[in-house]
């Protein structure tokens, strides 16, 4: 699984810490999400997508897509 979190975060000039604060998780969780090493819950995926003004489908890219 790949994500576009890093790219979109840079577009909105957000640091990992700021994004983590906005969605109410630890910075480590954002690091793991960006590396594609963590499967978030639907709620967290939705929250991150909302902060980055995108959709879940655009944010998370699965290898079989």
Asked if 51 touches another protein (CB under 8 A), the answer is no
Contact 60/33 with Cβ under 8 angstroms? no
Give least dist CB 57 to another protein, A.
17
Task: Give the residue, chosen from 6, 22, 27, 46, that forms a contact with another protein under the rule CB under 8 A.
Answer: 27
Q: How far is CA 42 from the centre of its chain?
A: 12
Does position 17 interact with another protein (CB under 8 A)? The reply is yes
Residues, the chain = 65
For residue 47, give both structure tokens. 């929250």
Which residues are at the interface with another protein (CB under 8 A)?
1, 17, 20-21, 24-29, 32, 35-41, 43-44
């Amino acid at each position: 699984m790949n994500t576009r979190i890093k790219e979109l975060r840079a577009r909105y000039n957000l640091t990992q810490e700021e994004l983590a604060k906005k969605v109410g998780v630890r910075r480590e969780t954002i690091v793991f999400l960006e590396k594609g090493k963590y499967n978030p819950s639907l709620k967290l995926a939705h929250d991150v997508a909302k902060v980055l003004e995108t959709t879940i489908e655009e944010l998370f890219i699965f290898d079989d897509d």
